[in-house]
Structure 1
Amino acid sequence: MKGQEWYQESDVAEEYDEKRFSRGGRLIDRREKEAVLDAVGPVDDKRVLEIACGTGRFTVMLAERGADVVGLDISGPMLQQGREKARSAGVDDTLEFMRGDAARLPFPDDHFDTVFAMRFFHLADTPAAFLSEMRRVSKDQVFFDTFNRFSTRSIYNWLLPMGSRLYSRSEVESLLAKADLRLVGDEHDFVLPYGFYRKIPNSLASTVRGIDTGIGRSPVGDSLASVSYWNASVE
């Protein structure tokens, strides 16, 4: 996976949330959490696995809502940030953070109701293998996001330190079919890429976001979107 060493640096983990979800990045955080909650639905007593949980933004959120949730990540420093976040939220005794490799998940088949991954597939060197593992340990639902090939993301992707793997719809549909997953819902958002929002103040970002959302709701919105959320069920 791209960036393994970078994500395991302590200073990167400590600054991760602040750099990505302050300023205009706050609305990205809200939208991503909304996407996860909409997809997962009621979580009381639902067994959930988050792949590449990072600093635990979603893991802690779901634990607060009653999910039986495990967050798995390859980075020890990222997991430490997640544990601190869980303690601050008072849910550290109701979830589990585990260090592990998404290519070899340490769980039996059909162990979770839902398995999801956010901000993960753009770094995946073997997406088919990762998706197959997610499907193996889920008995019901797999949810993930991708950055889109034919979007504004592609304009500056080569400038990013690690780049991003960009996907077309046909590529995602092919990956789902190979993993024996059935697409049951998809959403497409952010005509302007994430990097733009992180560079501007939150107050200005809200105004720009309104324009972005308006374009996104137009007939051409889905084709211009830089981010897609894919909700699939186990066949």
Structure 2
Amino acid sequence: MKGQEWYQADEVAAEYEDKRFSGGGRLIDRREKGAVLDALAPLDGKRVLEVACGTGRFTVLCAERGADITGMDISDAMLREGREKARAAGVADHLEFMRGDAARLPFPDDYFDAVFAMRFFHLADTPAKFLSEMARVSKADVFFDTFNRYSTRSLYNSLLPMGSRLYSTSEVHDLLRGAGLTLRSDAHDFVLPYGFYRQLPGWLADPIRDADVALGDSPIGEYLASVSYWHAHV
């Protein structure tokens, strides 16, 4: 995995959300959470796994909506942040955080109703193996996002501390076929890359995001999008 040492540092975990999801970054947080809920809801009573859960943004969100959810990550520091978030939200008794390797998920086949990963596949050195493992332990839904090769993301990708693996649509379709998954739906968003929004104050980010959405809804929007959300079925 790219940037493992950077990702697992205590100071990165402590500052992760403040740096990414404050100011203009709150628009990213809202969109990502909406994408997860659109794909997996209703969650009440479902057994769900989040791979690479980080600080538990989505793990806690799903627990609040009644999911029996496990959040797994390689970073102890990120998991500590997640447990604190769960306690603050009052759902610590309704979820589990565990350290684990996404390439060898410690669960039997068809154990979960849904498996998802956000902000993960751009770091994957062996994406086919990771996706196949997600498909193996899910009996229904698999959901994940990718950063797109032919987009504004590519303009600053090399400057990021971990870099990013960028995907074309055909590459994702090949990965889905290889994992035995059928695509149910896909969505494409953010003509302007995430890094741009994180530099903006909220008052300025809102109107720019409105223009971004309008362009994204146009006939060429899908081809300009820097992020794609993929909802597949086993």
* TM-score normalised by L of structure 1: 0.99
- 1:176 aligned onto 2:183: no
**What is aligned with 1:17?**
17
**What is aligned with 1:38?**
38
Q: Give the Cα separation in 2 of the matches to 1:66 and 1:161.
A: 36
**What is aligned with 2:79?**
79
Query: What aligned pairs does 1:1-235 form with structure 2 within 5 A after superposition?
Result: 1-234=1-234
Deviation at 1:7, TM superposition (A): 1.3
Q: Which moved more, 1:21-30 or 1:1-10?
A: 1-10
Deviation at 1:163, TM superposition (A): 1.0
Q: Give the Cα separation in 2 of the matches to 1:71 and 1:185.
A: 24
Deviation at 1:124, TM superposition (A): 0.1
Residue 102 of structure 1 aligns to which amino acid in structure 2?
A
**Please, which runs of 5 or more residues in structure 2 have no aligned partner?**
none
Deviation at 1:212, TM superposition (A): 0.2
Partner secondary structure for residue 93 of structure 2 = coil
RMSD: 0.5
Q: Give the Cα separation in 2 of the matches to 1:50 and 1:20.
A: 20
Deviation at 1:141, TM superposition (A): 0.7
Partner secondary structure for residue 61 of structure 1 = helix
Give the percent of matched residue pairs that are identical in Structure 1 and Structure 2. Answer: 74
Q: Give the Cα separation in 1 of the matches to 2:72 and 2:159.
A: 29
**Please, which runs of 5 or more residues in structure 1 have no aligned partner?**
none
Residue 59 of structure 1 aligns to which amino acid in structure 2?
T
Deviation at 1:59, TM superposition (A): 0.2
Deviation at 1:3, TM superposition (A): 1.3
Size of the alignment, in residue pairs?
234
Deviation at 1:158, TM superposition (A): 1.3
